[in-house]
Structure 1
């Protein structure tokens, strides 16, 4: 993997736990292998979807090692290192490099809401801490702090700050940075996969791809093949499932794990407190949306434990 290309089709991977709540590395490896086999070119660990606030530093390192082994060079492995404390973030970055990560994902320090000059200094320290390329994670709805476009443009000058996971919901600001820098832009919002890609984005980091990796990969493949109408059709097919998984009042990791479990696929089931599992009504709605996506995609049943087909 080059320092500036993590692939186009990335999944924000859930972190599997056993029924007792401990880290399930075997399930993580099975999930990672399935995701790569079905089209993911990169796996992003220990982000929002990966329940990073409730995993230990040691668990984060163990997860990198296990997923790297399962990916076996077929996909880039990035890991989240963003915390509220710059010193802790730097420690996690160095740990990630030792564990074999291909890149780092980092959101701004949360809760303290530092001003932009402090945000910039934080990220520069992070980029200087290891030899790994850095993907900045702009998600102000969760951190309380935006990485402003002007800050991003200054940070783009650092040779190891190479990409942005964009969850700012500011398409104008995003385009300004893309037009004036070489930062590789990845949407972190599943409904914007085609929109950002068509504007010159590098790809996506998808939560719903934990369940339907092929459905999202098919969007960018169709666009790259010149089939823009087909790409739009494939994007539209994902709307119902994306809305239920990401905009129905529950965190994406809760809904995605519920659906994975219902389908008998690796990675589903237990979430860590304070999160709570999805109820039957939510899960039933997700299954209906999944079945509709499968039916619209017209795909065959893949090998594996799930009783339903996976769309592509």
Structure 2
């Protein structure tokens, strides 16, 4: 599954025009740039891709456009999670038609179903298409954990193949890695190297929108046996990771702010999100400049 979906996956932002419309040309340009800089997979319409404020038609159009841009040079994983099982299954079918290679499915949110209902939800969606499914465990957004025992049961399903882990439960991740063949992806950039070092498949990264090559180099160094360099590269990225992901604004907002300063396709965010202020944008750009000129 790591070979199929890749190991250096970017949770790609969704570019919009100044008026807020979907920018398919910009999406194609950004996708091609990210792949050229080291991403071997792109996750579309996830949290970073502003999935709550894009329509079903926009989601399908985005997959088709990015597929045309990257051809077979990178995998495409489509975020299709909703709190409605039937709607999620519909999005799964549309993503498969549009050219996705895999499906990212978040736990149903707001209604906070119990674990048996969550398990049934994932099984029904997994049975909808022939695509591999990535469980997205992000309880601080959904209000509901995909409990480790639930993941262990779901791992037996032939198309439930991976996990994007934003649980911040590193012990549970290691236990599941030891007991299953699931491809485990770090969903929080501060865990990229740590999870990889204990058998993870790689990362699904918001920060890869702006430093795709640097994050790829962390894994490349580890694979080459230069664990000291891998650790140094991870540490060098930490200030930017913190500013993008943990400085009080959603990663979508901060990633787009920095991309706009780099003249890469991004555009505004959609309401209720609001564009980052000038001070935040300047800090992001300063940290970015410091990182890329360090030469580590």
Q: TM-score range by the shorter chain?
A: over 0.9
Give the alignment's Cα RMSD to 1 decimal: 0.9
Partner in structure 2 of residue 270 of structure 1: 268
SS at match of 1:120: helix
Query: Within 5 A, what are the aligned runs for 1:1-312?
Result: 5-266=4-265, 268-297=266-295
SS at match of 2:127: helix
TM-score normalised by L of structure 2: 0.99
Q: How far has the Cα of 1:270 moved from its partner?
A: 0.7
Please say if residues 4 and 75 of structure 2, whose CA atoms lie closer than 8 Å, have aligned partners that are also in contact: no
Q: Give the 3 Å change call, closer, same or farther, for CA 3–127 of structure 1 in structure 2.
A: farther
Please say if residues 42 and 75 of structure 1, whose CA atoms lie closer than 8 Å, have aligned partners that are also in contact: yes
Q: How far has the Cα of 1:296 moved from its partner?
A: 1.6
User: After TM superposition, where is structure 1 displaced by more than 6 Å over at least 4 residues in a row?
Assistant: none
SS at match of 2:119: helix
How many residues align? The count is 296
Q: Structure 1: 5+ residue runs without aligned partners?
A: 299-312
Q: What is the CA–CA distance in structure 2 between the aligned matches of 1:263 and 1:64, rounded to whole Å?
A: 24
SS at match of 1:129: coil
Q: Please list the CA deviations of residues 191-245 of structure 1 after superposition, one character each: whole Å capped at 9, or x if unmatched.
A: 1110000000000000010011001000000000000000000000100100000
Q: Please list the CA deviations of residues 149-190 of structure 1 after superposition, one character each: whole Å capped at 9, or x if unmatched.
A: 000000000000000000000001111111100000000100
SS at match of 2:219: helix
Q: How far has the Cα of 1:3 moved from its partner?
A: 8.2
Q: How far has the Cα of 1:91 moved from its partner?
A: 0.3
Q: How far has the Cα of 1:297 moved from its partner?
A: 2.6
SS at match of 1:151: helix
Q: What is the CA–CA distance in structure 2 between the aligned matches of 1:165 and 1:53, rounded to whole Å?
A: 18
SS at match of 1:79: strand
Q: What is the CA–CA distance in structure 2 between the aligned matches of 1:181 and 1:137, rounded to whole Å?
A: 16
